[in-house]
Amino acid sequence: MQSALALARDLIARRSVTPEDGGCQALIAQRLEAAGFRCESLRFGAVTNLWARRGTARPLLCFAGHTDVVPPGPLGAWQSDPFVPLERDGRLYGRGAADMKSSIAAFVLAAEAFAQERPAHSGALALLITSDEEGPALDGTVRVVERLKARGEAIDYCIVGEPSSVSALGDTIKNGRRGSLSGRLTVRGVQGHVAYPHLARNPIHVLAPALTELAATVWDEGNEHFPPTTWQVSNIHGGTGVGNVIPGTLELDFNFRFSTASTEASLRERLEAVLRRHGVDFGIEWLLGAKPFLTRRGELVDAVADAIRTHTGRTPELSTTGGTSDGRFIAEICPQIVELGPVNASIHQVDEHIALAELELLPKIYLDTLRALLP
């Protein structure tokens, strides 16, 4: 099997700050078509997506990832140009090196090698690549899943190439993710002069006792697969900008990261009950960003874990921590999803990088997983 380094370098060199793709998917499609894949470019709004499939039978194993990257930040803080891949001290540097162009390069190398090794393999192999993972995620994987669902295409196993490893490649795989429920709370008061508080109703004062209770609330204890649900305030604003006016309203943004021990409905009901109990006059705009999903031990988890042990000697820890991923959308049509990718210590940071040794092992782990699940 060829090295994934050359392809990773080529992908990093393409400026694909979300939602741009920078020509990455066209390059990927060209290589996959040569390996017998049927490639579809699916564009929704400003977002480019690639669905590439080889074979029509079941089971279908899908590699999923994204070609878009976050902005590099201040260029002067980087030791080298973030879009000019550079090898230094056993690492490959560049924006997207860890999140997640190296994983995509490893996907492609594994898929090419597998197609050559087993041209008449059982089942089917696919890649789902988007350029809208780091952005709003409105026209990317979620829209591709809707298209697949409408035409009756289901996925049996999915490996998402997100950087899941903590200290060394394969020490952790994600077998699920928490849900994300956000809200914008508006507290209604009565504006007035600070010298005449009896003629006003200060929404900051009204909310304060409820906010204290919400911050101290234990929403659940989690379970064997998920940590406890958390609630955090991310923004708060009230006031007119001057010191002698009691504000008429207050706005507060918050987020739940919730386990399967709670539901969207239960969290909404409990939060609103606290506000009502404290006499808060309020309105809330709710947004469900993701439902929690979980893949229990089974064929996919076992195959990935076995491949990791073969090539690294490590037994991976199963984890559901961290933020959301596009796995939340794929879970609509796929019962078994894991995330396996490089060490995540440098993602979204200046001087993002991947160890060259990881880049050599990752396609081998993916290839062995294919061998186990599509004999």
DSSP 155: -
Cβ pair 167, 343 in contact under 8 A: yes
As a whole number of angstroms, the distance between CA 74 and CA 77 comes to: 6
Cross-strand bridge partners of residue 127: 52, 63
- CA distances to 48, 312, 326, 340 from 134, rounded to whole Å, are 13, 30, 10, 18
Which amino acids are annotated catalytic? 68, 133
Cβ pair 304, 365 in contact under 8 A: yes
As a whole number of angstroms, the distance between CA 165 and CA 304 comes to: 13
What sign has the CA pseudo-torsion 11, 97, 344, 356?
Answer: positive
Cβ pair 28, 35 in contact under 8 A: no
